[in-house]
Chains A and B, each alone.
Chain A
């Protein structure tokens, strides 16, 4: 039951993009087409789950016993950068087809503040190992959901007549605002 609550809370109620404001850059940058959004989403789900697993172990067995919690920011960001590299290398060898599909999105994830943000939030929430991983995966799934919704709307938007000053970034922000309003409706279910 606890896990169901974690999943619903992370996916809808505290959606990482639309209520927590994490990962806005890829959200606005990559959400042009549905296909690319799915690719990016898959890569983020994979890396975020893995990052939460590893950062949990580092926090629990390295930073806390040694009383060097202030090294959290530096160690977490380096771990994420390292993980992305490792995933890229392994995927290239083991599953070239998937690597081809995710290719360009993998390096972008290092600078996705959602990954670092979610690992920090997991530590803040005092989750255990399994909860951390579930939390990471569902936050990433929430990111994917928002990305795909946005891409669907933006594909339609290309056909519309948008005022010149509003073209591109401003109109995307207004759309995100409307989506955030819709997601606001989920607050209070858990």
Chain B
């Protein structure tokens, strides 16, 4: 397995959002606008890559019996860093993402990669895996958020596509729209994967 495939693995073949269907809570909750989607994706990527690196470095030091609590503490530490940095420098995004920033701790993608990959691999593959999975997650969130923002609000990245008075399909930025858009996206990826026979 070449080094690059550690990175590309997370993009489509094992995409955390559309194929593995992990971390569904933030995926549904914050994808009301493209900016929120990309912000959440990048925050998660940072936590995922950093925790993958640290867990990989400490993999021979952490006793097997207490590995889950240790992983939780490591992940929670990086989440707290993101929380404080975002509060200081991006207060608007921090407001919009709300409790889903501290909830990155329980995002199953991060715990899943720690358990399935980082604790068994050397630091470089662990970083690449974290970046790949994080990028896959960010792309998926941005895509989902863009569709919902275009349909529900008539804009993308806060740039208006239709006039202020035009009526949009409001339900797409409300809760039901999140479930429905995500459902159709997963079905679409199923079809694409089958066509490409991955």
Contacts and interface: CB of A to CB of B under 8 A. Distances in A.
A23 B176 contact: no
Nearest to A19: B175
A81 B75 CA distance: 14
Interface in A18-55: 18-25, 28
Contacts of B77: 74
A65 interface: no
Interface string B164-192: 00000001001111111011101110110
A113 B76 contact: no
A21 B28 contact: yes
B17 to A, nearest CB: 11
B146 to A, nearest CB: 18
A117 B107 CA distance: 12
B106 A111 contact: yes
A73 B102 contact: yes
A171 B80 contact: no
A142 to B, nearest CB: 13
Contacts, number: 113
A124 to B, nearest CB: 7
Given A116-B102, A166-B187, A73 B76 contact: yes
Interface stretch (A1-9, A86-94, A176-184): A176-184
B174 A184 contact: yes
Given A70-B80, A73-B76, A116-B106, A184 B176 contact: yes
A170 B72 contact: no
B90 interface: no
A114 to B, nearest CB: 8
Interface string A79-115: 0010000000000000000000000000000011100
B72 A81 contact: yes
B84 interface: yes
Nearest to B188: A165
Interface string A157-189: 000000101100111111011101101100000
B103 A174 contact: no
Contact of B111 (A19, A111, A124, A170): A111
A165 B186 CA distance: 9
B72 A116 contact: no
B182 to A, nearest CB: 5
A124 B80 contact: no
A74 B73 contact: yes
Contacts of B80: 70-71, 73-74
A148 B16 CA distance: 27
A78 interface: yes
B96 interface: no
B143 interface: no
A121 B99 contact: yes
B56 to A, nearest CB: 21
Interface of B: 21-22, 24-26, 28-29, 68-69, 72-73, 76-77, 79-80, 83-84, 99, 102-103, 105-108, 111, 171, 174-180, 182-184, 186-188, 190-191, 194
Given A73-B80, A77-B105, A113-B107, 16 more contacts: A19-B175, A21-B25, A22-B29, A24-B24, A24-B25, A25-B22, A25-B24, A74-B80, A111-B108, A117-B25, A169-B183, A169-B186, A173-B183, A174-B184, A178-B176, A181-B176
8 contacts: A22-B25, A72-B102, A73-B105, A78-B69, A116-B103, A120-B99, A169-B186, A177-B183
- 9 closest cross-chain pairs (CB), A and B: A173-B183, A177-B179, A21-B29, A177-B180, A170-B187, A74-B76, A180-B176, A113-B106, A24-B24
